[in-house]
């Protein structure tokens, strides 16, 4: 264990359980002429022996990841667009129902969630440091503060807009190492009877489904109900509700309130009991997970090499951030996978980080269909397979590697 590896939440000792070695920034799709300047870091995770929070062993400076060029957009999946419209409608019908209510979203990205709230004429603010996607949100009528949410920005928001009835964050809280500052900001901004709702990949599902590629630079934390409950308590907040979500391979939506303001639901203690029973914080579970990742690597690389020897064409589907871990840890480059197709304009024409597989527009997939498609965006499998029905009909086969390597 490297010296000085202490928990970012409670200063407890971290026990490292998986090491993916040298990795590039997962969302830094490189221009062919910029290959020389890539940034690398060591990607490894550990668990805190005191508060059980799972976290990265090394932190990447935030400005390197979240800036004007951040390419990820929430609107890239129709399932996610409906998911966000649905939670926005739920907020409008509950916490935002009264007079002059106020909603804040952390990591508002391209405004996919907040536009429903903006359209309803409800006071709102999106906070996101990535200016490019922030501009897209503004074009949809969403009010955005292009900045990192933390204590200082929270104080400014409080002075200008006052307390919030709802603070929401999807796939964002797990991106923020400095949660101490963020939670001080939340505790300050949250109205007395307000709720802080956030949803992120659930570590219980990462273990259960071997979804090891949820581990990459931007995902600093891997939450469980137990670790979130302990985290909340440090700031006078209480975990009052948990909800399992099917999106992104399995997430949990956590609802926090000021301590004593709401009665915690039974689901909270049930999920914590389930976590204890399945041993999510036990070293042997974590070591078995790590061994499983290496078994998946051997299977997948073996399969791709066989297909290459047989002269089959293989492309990948979805230039996800999470595929940076798969490609770089497994050593999958353009020799094994010809290109990756992706609908995101900011990724197209570039090369994937580290392994430099060319990224092409979605149309490249059908023109002509390859023999095999490696599903990097496995978390959107249903949506993609429905959209690409013609691929299987033409004899093509999908390759998946979560939870196991399968060809179907």
Of 120 and 381, the one with the shorter C-beta distance to ligand TYD is 381
Return the number of the residue (150 or 213) whose C-beta is nearest ligand SAH: 150
- Report DSSP state, residue 379: G
**# residues near ligand SAH by CB under 6 A:** 20
Q: Does 72 bind ligand SAH (CB under 6 A)?
A: yes
Q: Are 231 and 270 in contact (CB under 8 A)?
A: no
Cβ-Cβ contacts under 8 Å for 139 (sequence gap 6 or more)? none
Sheet of 406-407: strands edge to edge? 359-360, 340-341, 314-317, 372-375, 397-400, 406-407
Which residue in the set 336, 384, 399, 402 belongs to the binding site for ligand TYD (CB under 6 A)? 384
- Residues 321 and 218: beta-carbon distance below 8 Å: yes
Q: How far is CA 40 from CA 18, 37, 62, 294, 353, in A?
A: 17, 10, 14, 21, 10
Q: Tell me if 354 sits within 8 A of 328, measured CB to CB.
A: yes
Task: Find the part of the chain contacting ligand TYD (CB under 6 A) among 34-42, 186-194, 232-240, 341-349.
Answer: 341-349
> For Zn ion, which is the closer residue by CB, 10 or 384?
10
Residues in 53-112 that interact with ligand TYD by CB under 6 A:
72, 76-77
Q: Which of residues 47-66 bind Zn ion (CB under 5 A)?
A: 48, 50-51, 53
Question: Residue 76 interacts with ligand SAH (CB under 6 A)?
Answer: no
Give the shortest CB-183-to-Zn ion separation in angstroms: 14
Beta strands at 54-56 and 40-48: parallel, antiparallel or unpaired: antiparallel
Tell me the C-alpha distance between 380 and 387, whole Å. 11
- The dihedral sign for the CA sequence 119, 123, 129, 132: positive
What six digits make up the tokens of 270? 């049930």
Tokens of 88: 């926005």
Q: Is 136 in the site for ligand SAH (CB under 6 A)?
A: no
Shortest distance (Å) from residue 240 CB to Zn ion: 22
Closest approach of ligand SAH to the CB of residue 319, in Å? 15
Q: Which is nearer to ligand SAH, 143 or 308 (CB)?
A: 143
Quick note: the x/- pattern for ligand TYD over 302-331, rule CB under 6 A, is ----------------xxxxx---------
Based on the shown chain and the rule CB under 6 A, indicate whether residue 387 belongs to the binding site for ligand TYD: yes
171 binds ligand SAH (CB under 6 A): yes
Among all residues, whose Cβ is closest to ligand SAH? 107
Residue 25 or 232: which CB sits closer to ligand TYD? Answer: 25
According to CB under 6 A, which residues from 115 to 134 bind ligand SAH? 127-130, 133
Peptide bond into 403 cis (omega under 30): yes
Query: Which residue, 275 or 388, is less far from ligand TYD as judged by CB?
Result: 388
Q: Which two tokens stand for residue 271?
A: 């999920």
Angle at the Cα of 76 from the Cα atoms of 213 and 246, rounded to 5 degrees: 55
């Amino acid at each position: 264990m490297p010296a000085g590896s202490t928990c970012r939440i409670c200063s407890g000792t971290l026990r490292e359980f998986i090491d993916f070695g040298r990795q590039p920034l997962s969302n830094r799709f490189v221009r062919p002429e910029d290959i020389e300047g890539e940034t690398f870091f060591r990607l490894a995770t550990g668990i805190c022996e005191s508060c059980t929070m799972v976290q990265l062993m090394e932190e990447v400076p935030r400005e390197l990841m979240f800036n004007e060029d951040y390419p990820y957009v929430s609107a890239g999946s129709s399932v996610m667009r409906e998911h966000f419209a649905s939670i926005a409608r739920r907020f409008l019908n509950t916490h935002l129902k009264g007079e002059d209510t106020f909603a804040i979203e952390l990591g508002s990205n391209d405004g996919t969630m907040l536009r429903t709230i903006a359209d309803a004429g409800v006071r709102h603010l999106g906070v996101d440091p990535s200016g490019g996607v922030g501009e897209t949100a503004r074009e949809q009528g969403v009010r955005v503060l292009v900045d990192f949410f933390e204590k200082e920005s929270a104080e400014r928001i409080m002075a200008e807009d006052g307390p919030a009835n709802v603070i929401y964050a999807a796939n964002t809280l797990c991106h923020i190492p400095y949660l101490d500052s963020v939670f001080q900001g939340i505790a300050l901004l949250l109205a007395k009877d307000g709720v802080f709702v956030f949803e992120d990949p659930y570590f219980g599902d990462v273990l259960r489904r071997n979804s090891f590629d949820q581990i990459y630079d931007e995902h600093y934390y891997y939450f469980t109900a137990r670790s979130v409950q302990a985290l909340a308590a440090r700031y006078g907040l209480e975990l009052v509700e948990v909800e399992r979500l099917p999106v992104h391979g399995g997430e949990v939506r956590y609802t926090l309130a000021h301590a004593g303001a709401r009665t915690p639901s039974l689901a909270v203690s049930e999920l914590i009991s389930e976590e204890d029973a399945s041993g999510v914080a036990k070293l042997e579970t974590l070591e078995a997970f790590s061994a499983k990742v290496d078994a998946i690597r051997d299977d997948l690389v073996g399969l791709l090499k066989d297909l290459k020897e047989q002269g089959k064409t293989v492309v990948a589907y979805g230039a996800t951030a999470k595929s940076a871990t798969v490609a770089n840890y497994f050593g999958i480059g353009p020799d094994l996978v010809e290109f990756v197709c992706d609908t995101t304009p900011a990724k197209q024409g570039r090369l994937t980080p580290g392994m430099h597989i060319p990224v092409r527009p979605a149309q490249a997939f059908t023109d002509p269909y390859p023999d095999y498609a490696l599903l990097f965006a496995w978390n959107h499998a249903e949506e993609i397979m429905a959209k690409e029905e013609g691929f299987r009909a033409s004899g093509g086969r999908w390759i998946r590697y979560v939870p196991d390597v399968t060809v179907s």
